[in-house]
Structure 1
């Protein structure tokens, strides 16, 4: 609860500082509001966003809903405006970030935690795969998962992000050699991902998908050196695609994906593994690190 209120306090101060900057700097006004009338926007935004966030920080519960709801409305409106007009892109980006943070802060204020369990509900809940004698069946399933997930998260989503980045005019310059680096990292990370998937299918008698997890604890192949090579490969791939496209937002997408997985998904996954494999998993967890590979092992 405290951290949520602290966030709203920071948001209120940042909102007030931004409006002061809009009043004194034509550049800030142009890149964040475009052709919108600042007086008309301020008439609604200052009481609902700045004052609302300040009241939320002071512990007024209704203000938490008001500030969060208004932030979401402004974020959506600015995103549409920036996409249609190519103006106010930085304003849309900042408000989109504030909207996500406000929702998380709302959860903290109202419940004292962020409800991450819904991320592993339904088709993403942890369940062991149906045991099969023929590893080829799991290999086919793993291959299908890789095609679908890599196609969506490494092709569709980055292309949409890059399109918005260009449309909103929030691009940043990259050195000419960066795409080459991105291509090399992408190939290496993809190789790690394929190695991990094959090992999970053949040794673990399952797939990397949470809804069809391995039936045996896998401590072979890349899993000897790092606990979650498939996840590490995915985040490296995301960042590599960003470098390949010279898109800082796609790089940020890969980094934020790693943060989300580490803090929201991994605790649930490891709790499930500990429940199913007990001391074997605890020994493995204590021996092999999550993010940094131990080559000597």
Structure 2
């Protein structure tokens, strides 16, 4: 019986790990925390007898959702004490096959830095319902079982969350750039910064562009968003002037879109992602907090 239970646990792990990681990462914005929670959920599952659970998928999602909420409420995770802007931990998605389960869940617009920041504005129950319905395409009856709400209540929560996200985003009419076009624009961005071409940068940025840098108090970073093209360009030129000789850049798929990973020697030193509007850069997000880069591979 124990061997049968072990085999079933392994089957469930292989089947649902991509789904559960996708849910946890969108809930928390942390690769490492999402991986930990999925592992914890399956360890807990392995201690249960399978016949006591009727809907394995819903039960695992409920375990992960509850653990995410516990993690968000823990004193060590409170954002009120975070130094400077908080940005989600970057997720490198370049190696994913869009036809695989992982690719199906992770290569989506809903992984973008801008989208994840919008999700952080929702309450935990709104976030869970919204992710399960909008991103993972669950039925309301399934969602109700996971979050312990009625089906009609979940429907109301979803519509309220969707209105909130739409109202916050201001991006309803924005057509996202194709990956190839965004990659070409990022190549121009890298060249302009490296060569000090402020005119080219001005053409790439919106006049009201904003830059958000997350150092988490661990390394030097702007503690407030930098607003306006002139100030953003001045900041970028300042960074470029202090860059070490062994700094290099690589364009990679980050959170489902082309982004930039910078390296000092072999070690990742920053990840840069973008939000576009009308073929120009509207927002720049820079993660330099070393705690959020530990999971990235070396160059």
**Larger helix percent:** 1
Structure number with bigger Rg: 1
**Larger strand percent:** 2
Where on the TM-score scale, by shorter chain, does this alignment land: which range?
under 0.3
Which has the bigger relative contact order, CA under 8 A and spacing at least 6? 2
Structure-1-length-normalised TM-score: 0.25
Structure-2-length-normalised TM-score: 0.25
